[in-house]
Amino acid sequence: MKQKKAALRQEMKARRATLQQQLGASAPRQIASRLLMLPEMAGTVQKGIKAERNESSIVAGFYPIQSEIDCLFLLKALNAVQWRCALPVMSGVSKHLAFKEWDLEEELKEGAYGTREPLSDMLYVMPDVVLVPLLAFDETGHRLGYGGGYYDRTLDIYREKGHSFTAIGVAFEGQKQDSLPVSKQDQPLDIIVTEEKVYRP
């Protein structure tokens, strides 16, 4: 299983890099448009037949590295409709992620693996939506990550605690696979959004 995943990671890193070169400028705009249309992004407060978003709703994104989708563009689009934003902070001891609020203007500090993190005095938050990077995905909601397991452990902790949230993978359509090798610790995504489609496993 590990060897199969490792080989697929190398293949998908190369494929994603090609897709980023081809679609990097347009894909985030198309993905943002699809995200904004999701009912999960419309609101958590129901008033009659109209859904209104709770102004305290928080979306956690990620600082893009390598050839990942430009999640900062997605956060700016969501912040424009009053979503509070957050970025992940690595936890070296338990190897899961925590999230700190970020106003999109405050300076970020260097994080692990080339990422950037909010400064230490920013507030920790429990997001309502978690945008998740990936190397590959399939229609059952499984994803292939970098192998560190940070997102899998984080999603598992949130689900074990009963925290209500939506895990949304963001990717290029070309990262889709018919199926992926799945381990018992792998946590499925609730939704995957690409520049072409929205997948609901």
Which residues make up each annotated binding site for substrate? Answer: 68
CA distance 155 to 141: 13
Q: Which residues of 38-74 are buried (b: 16+ CB within 10 A; e: fewer)?
A: eebbeeeeeeeeeeeeeeebbbbbbbbeebbbbbbbb
CA distance 75 to 2: 33
DSSP 38-71: SHHHH-SEEETTEEE--TT-EEE-----TT---H
Residue 100's SS3 state is strand
Which residues are annotated as part of the binding site for ATP? 5-9, 143-151
Which residues are annotated as part of the binding site? 5-9, 68, 143-151
Q: Which of 131, 140, 129, 75 minimizes the C-alpha distance to 103?
A: 75
